[in-house]
A and B are shown apart, each in its own frame.
Chain A
Amino acid sequence: MGAVATRQAFGDAIVRIGGDPRVVVLTGDLKNSTHTEDFAKAYPDRFFDVGIAESNMLGVAAGLALSGKVPWACSFAAFIANRLETVRASVAYNAANVRIVGTHAGIGIGDDGASQMALEDVAAIRALPNVGIVQPCDGPETQRAVEYLLDHDGPAYLRLMRQKTETVHAEDYSFRFGEAEVLRDGADVAFVASGGLVQESLGAARILEAEGVSARVLNVHTIKPLDAAAIVEAARACGRVISAEDHNVDGGLGGAVAEAIGEAGVGARLVRVGLRSFGESGSTAELYDRYGLSAARLAGAARSLLSR
């Protein structure tokens, strides 16, 4: 079905909804990397480049939102989502309808190395009231998520990837904010994944299937609010859960899954796959193998869990 980077799909989607006069796009000298150049050309009166000043960009976005606009503030996730004090006070506490768009999330960006890899952004923003967190895994899901977020009530963080990912959704896919999607049913082990780790988990499930293991794959495109019911149901049905994310497991999806299972009192075993350190330079494939995020490594984690 092809492959596209979710940041590219975002750039296409924002042009598609750009006719709505509420839509304003901001960037900090990254209109090429965040794929907002087409919007800038189509709607120059509603595009602002504030330069390398992400805190100001967030505050300006909040002011636009408080005047009825739906501003999309776009930069690398590491540089915008981690301006935490401005996200907290100007965006979250004001309940301002800002869309914080963080591209280049995780070690999947590859060669640029650790300083550009956001691995704590989800944990930080998850602690802020009012802010939704959405991480689509492919092109169609990004398109539908952007369309949904135009009318979402409240602030939201949209976490996007630099690298291309295989398309797993049809064009007529219906995005349901806050509802995890069962992409593959299974009874022995459940992968609870988000972003590019959805495709890796599907790959792991195919490897395991050849070995006679039935794996469920849950696509958690909305990390907050978390679909705890779907995760608890998977834990009950499979008894073994592997959370999978390109982010630090502490406070990220892995932390959220642990909270959901723990609070429900389900006696399932959980392995959290994700980062526990900063990243480094390399190709996506090399890094996903090194840090345990590849389909093969996820399948290995499942085998290990099943043999306990």
Chain B
Amino acid sequence: MPHATDAPARPDVQTLRDISRELRADIIRMLVEAKSGHPGGSLSAIDALVCLYFGGVLRYRPAEPEWPERDRFVLSKGHCTPALYSVLARAGYFPRERLMSFRKFGSPLQGHPDRTRLPGVEASTGSLGQGLSMALGMALAARIDGSGRRVYAMLGDGEIQAGQVWEAVMSAGNFGVDNLTAIVDCNQVQQTGLVRDIQDEEPLAAKWSAFRWNVIECDGHDHAQVLDALDGARACRGRPTVILARTVKGKGVSFMELDYNWHGKAPSPEEGERALAEILAGESSPAPAALRGKGDR
């Protein structure tokens, strides 16, 4: 089977932490250059994406983006393109310098992902609530084909307030598609406030479980935990898996963490310098001291 060679070998956790730090810096640089975009959800999502793409999980060929037997990743929370693009550049889909064209006229790096413009993007997203349905369709196609292809979708905890998400959750559970994994980036904050203040969703694990999903919770900034969760998803038979990645919006930049004002605002050059200094100086992804909003009400 060629598959084993199509996912990069799993490095040690420190290497993944280093990649996360590097890509957090790329996210900040992109946003400063673009003067717009979404830092908070990109910084919360990056560790799980690093595990997926560089932790020996996702099977892909950057030199052959349309390879039919590749695994699929759908970024349903499409506004977090800085995280996705920094990952795709490092994976080799396009030169890293192109990250600086993000959101600019004529660039394939659109504000939200456009699969028709950028190889490596599996689905055009950005209108929230639709990516899990598309990922389910891809998972069913793999089942029809008798293929071992796996499909991953990342959703936001704000995004899952959308009704279509729960239509997809219900049908994926009933179809028993065990080649589908949803990762919910539970960063606790949405555009205008805390998730629990706008529409509380807890207990999330019980909700997904009731719809016949295998539920794994983890610290979404702890690479070892995320890898364990992804391995658990691959091992599960007969049910789709959701990974509730408990994260912190804006993770790694102290003045952005858990502040909804950094949902969709680019840092100024000065703020960018401060952010980069923190990211590059610090332990890249220390476990958060306390995860708020987890079963505490």
Contacts and interface: CB of A to CB of B under 8 A. Distances in A.
Whether chains A and B associate is yes
Interface of A: 21, 24, 45-46, 48, 50-51, 53, 55-56, 58-69, 71, 85-86, 88-90, 93-95
B107 interface: no
Interface string B51-88: 00000000000000000100010100000000000000
A51 B133 contact: no
Contact of A53 (B122, B123, B127, B170): B170
A65 B137 contact: yes
A73 to B, nearest CB: 10
Contacts of A48: 140, 175
A50 B138 CA distance: 15
Contact of A58 (B72, B74, B114, B133): B133
Given A93-B124, A94-B124, A62 B171 contact: no
Interface string B108-124: 00000011100000111
Given A50-B171, A51-B171, A89-B124, A60 B134 contact: yes
A66 B138 contact: yes
B168 interface: yes
Contacts of A94: 115-116, 123-124, 134
A6 B175 CA distance: 31
B136 to A, nearest CB: 5
B175 to A, nearest CB: 7
A68 B67 CA distance: 12
B155 to A, nearest CB: 13
B144 A90 contact: no
B114, B124, B125, B145 interface centre (most CB from chain A within 10 Å): B124
B160 interface: no
A90 B130 contact: yes
Given A55-B163, A56-B136, A67-B137, 5 more contacts: A59-B133, A63-B141, A86-B133, A86-B164, A94-B124
A90 B125 CA distance: 7
B140 A64 contact: yes
- Closest 5 interchain pairs by CB? A63-B137, A59-B133, A67-B141, A56-B167, A53-B167
B135 interface: yes
B142 A67 contact: yes
**Count class of interface residues, chain B:** 20 to 34
8 contacts: A48-B140, A50-B171, A56-B136, A62-B134, A66-B122, A66-B134, A90-B130, A94-B116
B140 A60 contact: yes
A56 B164 contact: yes
Interface centre among A51, A60, A65, A94 (most CB of B within 10 A): A60
A24 B130 CA distance: 20
Given A53-B167, A59-B168, A89 B138 contact: no
A62 B133 contact: yes
Contacts of A61: 137
B141 A53 contact: no
Given A93-B124, A94-B123, A63 B171 contact: no
B144 to A, nearest CB: 6
B134 A69 contact: no
A24 B137 CA distance: 11
A63 B124 contact: no
Contacts of A60: 133-134, 136-137, 140, 168, 171
Contacts of A89: 124-127, 130
Contacts of A86: 130, 133, 164
Nearest to A52: B167
Nearest to B126: A89
A204 B202 CA distance: 63
Contacts of A59: 130-134, 136-137, 164, 168
B84 to A, nearest CB: 16
A90 B171 contact: no
Contact of A56 (B127, B133, B145): B133
A69 to B, nearest CB: 5
A262 to B, nearest CB: 32
Nearest to A49: B171
Nearest to B168: A56
B137 A66 contact: yes
